[in-house]
Chains A and B, each alone.
Chain A
């Protein structure tokens, strides 16, 4: 460790019983009789579970074989994933056009990765996003440059999941912030509207919102008028997530001290300036952890669109498992899916932690 350099006194090293690996083990694993007991029990449980799992997953397993070959083995049949990868990822997207959703996903990922660095948050980036989104939409829908039209009911698998969750989050966040500000407003009409909206949405499950959007909502439209089903599900997800974000942001706003408002007021800043420059940057930073929690659950909740007959990546996996050749390998398929979700969620939460650290200014 770095000792402060003060020549007038001498610094001694800490006694060996307080540092070093043995001291660490004693301090953290065997410091009391019940901790020692827990340590031993945990080690025992791990010894019981890990080796058989390892054998099943890696030693006696097949990684890319026919389904028939899998009948003869004891271990995992990972083959279900590579053999069906096209359908699991892309679903019903027409034969020969697969490059389009793949390219769209790569473009989206590239934009997300490029946007990670705060130093790149410039005007250029603000233009790159809408342009990128238009290109992605064009790739998916087609109808120009000789690409045949692919109706949205054929959009499925991972592109659908990514689209629903990504737009769900990106649109719900600003809407949620506006709702939170609305709820704090001194204007009674705006305040009431915000409160009613937030409490109503939070009072119903997402499933019922999705049902309403797909079954009840069309009943209110005039004859012959339809609104795209994917779009309706997307709107339901946005509305739902926004209400939750609003409450989290409200918590952040309440954590702000009066002095910050007063300092902004005394400089002569008006309300929008105060909010944009002083209050929101601080309040939103405080609520990064709970906000990420909501975004993560919004991401995972997109799998609920299955009940209105949209084929997200969970549903395409299920359909694969209905194939007689591959029934019985659901553990492997769902583990793969879990890994896919985990990678996305872990990336989000570790990015949020990094952002939090970067925005920390020592107060």
Chain B
């Protein structure tokens, strides 16, 4: 099988087949199978340590899988650095702790990827960056440094930074978990806007309100396996699996 295959119209944008992952002896992810269609929004929930973050981190190869296949937009993730860099440029990621570059201004944080990876001219990159800053309602902070912004503002900058790479897919790894309660909404609002525009999103979160209003599919993971997935209506009102019921009863 070749690494890159011609993409057909109805091919899933992410396809994971029989994926396993170990940390040393520990079997973190077991037999993960997942297909994500273009424009689909998936919320992944589950108890801590269930492997949900690890799974989405495998999709842009921040974590390496040991068995099975991950194909992103027609490119299979292998040890080939070219493929890894290609996938990473197409997949945006938002982290729990923002991970902005503290020594660069907000604007420089946003233009770095486009200038160095996409080879966009600086001027054009700055225009695009300002457009996305506008979109996350933070354009007036462009000249500041990340350390001068609140957590919620930093996370919105982080979202804008990913968007500047014009990604096909956005991964969110607990984007609101490190935020003070009054800042969660401003970040979720940005994510809801993004969802409305048709972005393909995989979101690991404990925000069940967000899941109910935005997700096409909610997925419950436990002990490294996908236990249950369904549309939000059925997932919350009629969970099939015992472990899902227990989890929902604990958090709702």
- A362–B62 touching, CB < 8 Å: no
Q: Using a CB-CB cutoff of 8 Å, which residues 274-294 of chain A contact chain B?
A: 277-278, 281-282, 285
Tell me how many residue pairs across A and B have CB atoms closer than 8 Å. 71
Given known A266-B91, A268-B88, A269-B113, contact A260–B145 (CB-CB < 8 A): no
A273 CA to B62 CA in the complex, in Å? Answer: 17
- A266–B88 touching, CB < 8 Å: yes
* Chain-A contact segment, one of B30-38, B95-103, B215-223, B239-247: B95-103
- A263–B99 touching, CB < 8 Å: yes
Given known A259-B95, A262-B62, A361-B102, contact A267–B117 (CB-CB < 8 A): yes
- B103–A281 touching, CB < 8 Å: yes
What is the total number of residues of chain B having a CB less than 8 Å from a CB of chain A? 29
- A267–B100 touching, CB < 8 Å: no
- B89–A362 touching, CB < 8 Å: no
Interface size class of A (residues with CB under 8 A): 20 to 34
- A266–B102 touching, CB < 8 Å: no
A259 CA to B117 CA in the complex, in Å? Answer: 19
A270 CA to B83 CA in the complex, in Å? Answer: 12
- A269–B116 touching, CB < 8 Å: yes
Given known A262-B62, A363-B146, A363-B147, contact A268–B117 (CB-CB < 8 A): yes
Check A265 for interface membership: any CB of B closer than 8 A.
yes
Check B112 for interface membership: any CB of A closer than 8 A.
yes
A259 CA to B86 CA in the complex, in Å? Answer: 20
A262 CA to B53 CA in the complex, in Å? Answer: 13
Looking at chain B's contact residues, the main secondary structure is mixed
- B99–A259 touching, CB < 8 Å: yes
- B62–A269 touching, CB < 8 Å: no
Check B77 for interface membership: any CB of A closer than 8 A.
no
Contacts of B165 in A (CB 8 A): 267-268
Contacts of A277 in B (CB 8 A): 112, 116
A302 CA to B20 CA in the complex, in Å? Answer: 58
Check A69 for interface membership: any CB of B closer than 8 A.
no
Looking at chain A's contact residues, the main secondary structure is helix
Check B85 for interface membership: any CB of A closer than 8 A.
yes
Distance in angstroms from B174 CB to nearest chain A CB is: 13
A281 CA to B146 CA in the complex, in Å? Answer: 15
Check B60 for interface membership: any CB of A closer than 8 A.
yes
Distance in angstroms from A274 CB to nearest chain B CB is: 10
Beta-carbon nearest neighbor of B144 in chain A:
A362
- B95–A268 touching, CB < 8 Å: no
Check B148 for interface membership: any CB of A closer than 8 A.
yes
Contacts of A265 in B (CB 8 A): 60-62, 88
Contacts of A273 in B (CB 8 A): 116-117
A269 CA to B89 CA in the complex, in Å? Answer: 8
- A263–B100 touching, CB < 8 Å: yes
A263 CA to B117 CA in the complex, in Å? Answer: 13
Given known A268-B85, A362-B145, contact A282–B103 (CB-CB < 8 A): yes
Check B93 for interface membership: any CB of A closer than 8 A.
yes
Check B151 for interface membership: any CB of A closer than 8 A.
no
Distance in angstroms from A211 CB to nearest chain B CB is: 42
- A266–B62 touching, CB < 8 Å: yes
Beta-carbon nearest neighbor of A267 in chain B:
B113
Beta-carbon nearest neighbor of B102 in chain A:
A363
Distance in angstroms from B105 CB to nearest chain A CB is: 8
Check A359 for interface membership: any CB of B closer than 8 A.
yes
A263 CA to B171 CA in the complex, in Å? Answer: 12
Q: Which residue of A267, A269, A285 contacts B103 across the interface (Cβ within 8 Å)?
A: A285
- A362–B103 touching, CB < 8 Å: no
Interface string of B23-64 (1 = CB under 8 A from A): 000000000000000000000000000000000000011100
A265 CA to B88 CA in the complex, in Å? Answer: 7
A268 CA to B86 CA in the complex, in Å? Answer: 7
- A267–B88 touching, CB < 8 Å: yes
Contacts of B100 in A (CB 8 A): 263
Q: Using a CB-CB cutoff of 8 Å, which residues 145-173 of chain B contact chain A?
A: 145-148, 161-162, 165
A sample of 21 cross-chain residue pairs with beta-carbon separation below 8 angstroms, ordered by A number, consists of: A260-B101, A262-B95, A263-B101, A265-B60, A266-B60, A266-B88, A267-B112, A267-B113, A267-B161, A267-B162, A268-B85, A268-B88, A268-B89, A268-B117, A268-B165, A277-B112, A282-B102, A361-B146, A361-B147, A363-B102, A363-B147
Residues of B participating in the A interface, judged by any CB pair closer than 8 Å: 60-62, 81, 85-86, 88-89, 91-93, 95, 97, 99-103, 112-113, 116-117, 145-148, 161-162, 165
Residues of A participating in the B interface, judged by any CB pair closer than 8 Å: 257, 259-260, 262-270, 273, 277-278, 281-282, 285, 359, 361-363
- A-B CB proximity, top 10 nearest: A363-B147, A268-B89, A362-B147, A263-B99, A267-B113, A259-B99, A361-B145, A266-B93, A268-B88, A363-B102
